[in-house]
Amino acid sequence: MVGLSLGEQHFIQGGIAQDLRCDGRKRLAYRPISVETGVIPQANGSARVRMGATDVIASVKAELGKPSLLQPNKGKVSIYIDCSSTAEPAFEGRGGDELSAELSTALQRCLLGGKSGAGAGIDLSSLVVIDGKICWDLYIDGLVVFSDGNLLDALGAAIKAALSNTGIPRVHVAAGASSDEKPEIDVSDEEFLQFDTSAVPVIITLTKVGKHYIVDATSEEESQMSSAVSISVNRQRCICGITKRGGAGLDPSIILDMISVAQHVSEQLINKLDSEIASAEAGDDDES
């Protein structure tokens, strides 16, 4: 929790109204973003994203599993976020559970698309090894290392970066196995398949403070919000998911306005992220 005096509150609100925020940014400007990939060697893919002081890590682990009966030709993806008590004492014990659950559902909603799989950032059918028998289960875990606002956007970016870093081992299916038996498979140690992450959307949270809304709010600014709308947008400028936080009501026209702003901002963010990811990947390769 951020405790602010009345003066500080007015200062933040006034700054936002005048399009000059406490750290000198404009309303629609991001803090510097830095991306590191391959930070966790045990995972199939991982990334650490820092936005200002906000610091998050995402890891992707792939395990072989059985597809669900309802959707035999699709793999499964689950997203879980952990809010560590190292980030904030309030997260200790069960304190972070509520936030964890909120972030996890928001990310699932924003990245995994509808029930039929349309609009998903990850092509689930590419995870299938044998129809109805074997598929890859992707476990995406996020960790909040330090929280200074705008966690959802940072986590979204970290997951996107981690997925670009992910290599799924190639699986050879032994030929000639009859359909009833458990097929023999051979997981390769050398050959890895990369994900196509161009369809993974980015999440843009517009935080409404007073009459205006801002992107990439710090936790001080978030404490002044009346409501926030997180919109995930992909490269085609399509909306892939929306969640709203904060109880205050919003006029529908404002929401539509926010959507168009988010679409506009997304383009810059996607380009920025892609170049950061590319340079992180390049740096990664040099080291190894």
Give the interface with other proteins as residue ranges (CB under 8 A): 70, 98, 101-102, 105, 109-110, 112-116, 118-119, 227, 229, 234, 237-252, 255-256, 259-260, 263
Residue 43, both tokens: 């995972």
Please report how close the Cβ of residue 55 comes to other proteins at its closest, in angstroms. 25
Output 21 or 74, the one with its CB closest to other proteins: 74
Output 169 or 246, the one with its CB closest to other proteins: 246
Please report how close the Cβ of residue 236 comes to other proteins at its closest, in angstroms. 8
Output 76 or 245, the one with its CB closest to other proteins: 245
Q: Are 216 and 153 in contact (CB under 8 A)?
A: yes
Q: What is the DSSP letter of 149?
A: S
Please report how close the Cβ of residue 131 comes to other proteins at its closest, in angstroms. 17
DSSP string, 29-43: -PPPEEEEE---TTS
Q: Are 23 and 218 in contact (CB under 8 A)?
A: yes
Residue 92, both tokens: 């200790």
Output 17 or 256, the one with its CB closest to other proteins: 256
Please report how close the Cβ of residue 222 comes to other proteins at its closest, in angstroms. 16
Output 183 or 223, the one with its CB closest to other proteins: 223
Give the type of residue at 58.
A
Q: What is the DSSP letter of 28?
A: T
Output 180 or 251, the one with its CB closest to other proteins: 251
Please report how close the Cβ of residue 78 comes to other proteins at its closest, in angstroms. 14
Output 258 or 280, the one with its CB closest to other proteins: 258
Residue 218, both tokens: 């710090």
Distances 185 to 64, 74, 135, 172 between C-alpha atoms, Å: 11, 18, 12, 6
CA dihedral 185, 191, 197, 198 (to 10 degrees): -120
Cα angle 150-35-239, degrees, rounded to a multiple of 5: 50
Please report how close the Cβ of residue 10 comes to other proteins at its closest, in angstroms. 18
Distance CA 122, CA 195 (A): 8
Determine how β-strand 128-130 pairs with β-strand 76-83: unpaired
Please report how close the Cβ of residue 101 comes to other proteins at its closest, in angstroms. 6
